[in-house]
Homo-oligomer: A and B are copies of this chain.
Amino acid sequence: MSSPQDLDPSDLAYLGGIDSPTVANALERLKLRDRSDGYVGGSVQCAFPELGPMVGTALTVTADNAVGRPARQDGYWELWNALEQTTGPTVIVMKDASGTPTRVAYAGEIMVTLARRLGAIGMVTDGALRDVDEVRAKGFHYFMRYPVVSHANFELSKVGDPVHIDGQVVRTGDILHGDANGIVIVPNESLRDIREAVDAIQTAERRDLDYLEGPEFTLQGYQRMRGYGS
């Protein structure tokens, strides 16, 4: 497995003040990847949008529902050992490999409390989680498909290995930025230029909004401003 990377405190503070679609737009401007790459798909939903942006580095794990035998505990403890080695903030990304994601919750209050103690600030899964009231009260981020009431016979493995989450490859160490709109991955190589790109996006959006809401607005004028058909 690759080692989770640390986020620079100033990058962290900066990113925490920006919403995820603006981050996505800024990254698009930097042309570091295909426009259809770099974010988690919408089936993974923000459970606690009132918490605002989640910013942290991914620690990946694969989650399954063991059949016909006791679940192995090795991966569970391997996850916590790996988490302890991060300096955080860390987001635990749990890939559902059960094939029946409606039937198993991969974490709840106890695991969240342990995760927080070890530096995690959120969990992301294309499966399910539980104890939504208790976890919301802790200010811990949940991104999931839906809650499920039972943890069934869940089993964790492949700590640190890359996973697919609704169309997106997520690697341990990836910087994740998520809010009510979803989760975008912030490439390390973008950190040098992202402030400038965000500034450019915000300036352009402010200009657009001022014009769109202002007294001079015409559709043709806006079309010209956007450089279409010129």
Q: A: which residues have CB within 8 A of B? A: 19-21, 24-25, 28, 35-36, 38-43, 45-46, 49, 65, 67, 73, 76-77, 80-81, 84, 100-105, 108-110, 113-114, 117-118, 128, 130-133, 145-153, 166-167, 178-184, 205, 208-209, 212-213, 217, 219, 222-223, 228-229
The interface residues of chain B lying within 8 Å CB-to-CB of A217 are: 117
- Within 8 Å by CB of A36, from B43, B152, B182, lies B152
- In the complex, A223→B79 CA distance in Å? 12
- Total copies of the chain: 3
The interface residues of chain B lying within 8 Å CB-to-CB of A167 are: 100, 102-103
**Closest chain B residue, CB of each to CB of A80:** B219
- Within 8 Å by CB of A117, from B43, B77, B212, lies B212
B149 and A205 within 8 A (CB): no
**Closest chain B residue, CB of each to CB of A27:** B150
A149 and B20 within 8 A (CB): yes
B213 and A113 within 8 A (CB): yes
- Within 8 Å by CB of A77, from B45, B49, B118, B229, lies B229
